[in-house]
């Protein structure tokens, strides 16, 4: 594995996903000792200026254990009831463990609509970025209590990959009850070699990934491989590793060869720019003054309302707009923080006046630099 800790491109932000089998000790209720171990490691990572978003399974499994059920139910209302019960214990466990390190946590429940709607996508992204800037550890889970079958992520591996995309994580760590991805099923061949490193998009890996053997979670190695490929779209590498390996997160941070490293083809910034530049339909055009063009092209800053002369088109918050100079030459594209109606009211004005003009302020920037690509 690459020396993550020593490299100039050391990951600044990780998403760490912990599976149900690990968290609940294979169905025996929450494993508080194991949770304390992971929490301690995350606290140490934070002390090394590494931001961590924790994606935690276990709510349904904990609810099943609390209710005394022998297996995970299949009816949606029973799953939602189990999730509601189990979420209480899960949040309490993380909160109490992180408090021992004087760390604050925040519960973030997401469903598919939150990430498919561009406006809600920006809201979720802004909330997570704000929490991380405050030094808070977000604990993310699927909103199992309200989702329907049609909009479920299907597993928290997929959710973790989408969160990695959402927050521009450099690394997705999937902790599981296996040591990583093996060349064959280790349950059938205990001597099969562990795959140490591969491209996330290597199609030959499909043949060696298998379904989950347990009844508590929804994900197996298939979903973990799919999650790695989804994370790779925004340039995030993925490590699949054994969660019971002592100090596994610290070992990964130190560059120790642990688990399976699935490498993205593109660097995060390159991947995100490709997505912004080519994968979303442009809904409007903003005409910038010379000062704004200079700031975007030479200083890499956000676009403020004061630098916009005019606009055309109809768009909602979170949609893609094109930024052009006074000659009509496109200089950038980005996801706008205000609708076309709202933008018309604030262009040419200083950001401090947004609240008095609109009665609210989504952001000081019309387009934040993280959601902007200069062409």
Q: 3-state secondary structure string, 302-323?
A: CECHHHEEEEEECCCCCCEEEE
Burial class from Cβ neighbours inside 10 Å (0-12, 13-18, 19+) for residue 39 reads buried
Ranking 4-8, 21-25, 65-69, 362-366 by mean pLDDT, the lowest is 4-8
- How would residue 173 be classed by pLDDT, with cut points 50, 70 and 90? very high
Buried/exposed code over 169-204 (b: 16+ C-beta within 10 A; e: otherwise): bbbbbbbbbbbbbbeeebeeeeeeebbeebebeeee
Q: What is the pLDDT of residues 262-314, one digit of tens each?
A: 999 876 666 566 656 554 678 899 999 999 999 999 898 999 999 999 999 99
- How would residue 144 be classed by pLDDT, with cut points 50, 70 and 90? low
Neighbours of 229 (CB within 10 A): 18
Contact 15, 265 (CB under 8 A): no
- How would residue 188 be classed by pLDDT, with cut points 50, 70 and 90? confident
Q: Domain map of the chain by residue range? A: 13-268, 280-374
Does the structure show a pLDDT above 60 at 123? yes
Alpha carbon 210 to chain centroid, angstroms: 24
Partners of 182 in beta bridges = 194
Does residue 34 or residue 266 have the better pLDDT? Answer: 34
**DSSP state letter for 371:** G
- How would residue 7 be classed by pLDDT, with cut points 50, 70 and 90? very low
- How would residue 150 be classed by pLDDT, with cut points 50, 70 and 90? very low
**Percent of the chain at pLDDT exceeding 90:** 51
Neighbours of 20 (CB within 10 A): 28
Token pair belonging to 103 = 């760390």
Q: What is the pLDDT of residues 234-272, one digit of tens each?
A: 889 999 999 999 999 999 999 999 999 999 987 666 656
Predicted pLDDT of residue 282: 87
Burial class from Cβ neighbours inside 10 Å (0-12, 13-18, 19+) for residue 299 reads exposed
> DSSP per residue over 128-143, as a string?
HHHHHHTT-EEEEEE-
Token pair belonging to 125 = 């992204």
Q: Which residues contact 132 (CB under 8 A, 6 or more apart)?
A: 13, 51, 53, 138, 167
Q: Which residues contact 23 (CB under 8 A, 6 or more apart)?
A: 30, 31, 34, 35, 56, 57, 58, 61, 62, 90
- How would residue 6 be classed by pLDDT, with cut points 50, 70 and 90? very low
According to the 3-state scheme, what is the secondary structure of 174-194?
Answer: EEECCCCCECCCCCCCCCCCE
Instruction: Measure the CA–CA gap between 11 and 170, rounded to whole angstroms.
Output: 5
> DSSP per residue over 146-164, as a string?
T--GGG--SSHHHHHHHHH
**If you average pLDDT over each of 22-26, 145-149, 187-191, 361-365, which comes out highest?**
361-365
Does residue 208 or residue 56 have the better pLDDT? Answer: 56
Predicted pLDDT of residue 94: 96
Instruction: Measure the CA–CA gap between 218 and 178, rounded to whole angstroms.
Output: 15
Quote the mean pLDDT of the chain.
85
**Where does 13-268 sit in CATH, by number?**
3.40.1160.10
Contact 52, 42 (CB under 8 A): yes
Predicted pLDDT of residue 149: 52
Q: Across residues 217-231, what is the average pLDDT?
A: 79
Does residue 42 or residue 59 have the better pLDDT? Answer: 42
280-374 belongs to CATH 2.30.130.10? yes
Does residue 81 or residue 207 have the better pLDDT? Answer: 81
Residue 224: closest CA among 80, 76, 55, 11: 55
Q: Which pTM does this prediction carry?
A: 0.75
Question: Phi first, then psi: what are they for 170, rounded to 5°?
Answer: -85, -25
Say whether 51 sits in a helix, a strand or coil.
Answer: strand
Predicted pLDDT of residue 218: 41
Token pair belonging to 88 = 């209480």
Predicted pLDDT of residue 189: 81
Q: What is the pLDDT of residues 316-353, one digit of tens each?
A: 998 889 999 999 999 999 889 999 999 999 999 999 99
Does the structure show a pLDDT above 60 at 72? yes
């Amino acid at each position: 594995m690459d020396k993550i800790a020593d490299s100039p491109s050391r990951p600044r932000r990780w998403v760490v996903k912990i599976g149900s089998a690990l968290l609940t000790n294979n169905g025996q209720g929450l494993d508080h000792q194991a949770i304390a171990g992971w929490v301690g490691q995350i606290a140490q990572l934070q002390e090394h200026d590494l931001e961590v978003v924790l994606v935690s399974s276990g709510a349904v499994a904990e609810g099943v254990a609390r209710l005394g059920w022998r297996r995970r139910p299949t009816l949606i209302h029973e799953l939602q009831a189990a999730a509601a019960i189990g979420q209480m214990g899960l949040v309490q466990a993380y909160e109490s463990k992180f408090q021992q390190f004087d760390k604050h946590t925040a519960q973030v429940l997401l469903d598919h609509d939150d990430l498919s709607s561009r406006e809600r996508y920006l809201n979720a992204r802004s909330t997570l970025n704000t929490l991380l800037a405050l030094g808070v550890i977000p604990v993310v889970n699927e909103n199992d209590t309200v989702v329907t079958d049609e909009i479920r992520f299907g597993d928290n591996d997929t959710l973790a990959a989408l969160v990695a995309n959402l927050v521009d994580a450099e690394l997705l760590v999937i902790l599981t009850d296996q040591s990583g991805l093996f060349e064959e099923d280790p349950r059938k061949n205990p001597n099969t070699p562990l795959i140490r490193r591969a491209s996330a998009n290597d199609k030959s890996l499909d043949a060696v990934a298998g379904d989950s053997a347990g009844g508590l979670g929804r994900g197996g190695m298939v979903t973990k491989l799919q999650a790695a490929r989804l994370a790779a779209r925004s340039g995030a590498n993925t490590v699949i590793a054994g969660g019971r390996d002592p100090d596994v997160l610290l070992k990964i941070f130190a560059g120790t060869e642990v688990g399976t490293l699935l490498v993205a083809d593109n660097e995060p910034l390159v991947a995100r720019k490709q997505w912004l530049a080519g994968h979303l339909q442009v809904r409007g055009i903003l005409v910038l003054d010379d000062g704004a063009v200079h700031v975007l092209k030479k200083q890499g800053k956000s676009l403020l309302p004061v630098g916009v002369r005019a606009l055309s088109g109809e768009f909602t918050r979170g949609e893609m707009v094109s930024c052009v100079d006074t000659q009509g030459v496109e200089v950038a594209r980005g996801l706008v923080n205000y609708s076309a109606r709202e933008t018309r009211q604030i262009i040419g004005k200083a950001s401090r006046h947004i609240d008095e003009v609109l009665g609210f302020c989504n952001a000081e920037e019309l387009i934040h630099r993280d959601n902007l690509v200069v062409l």
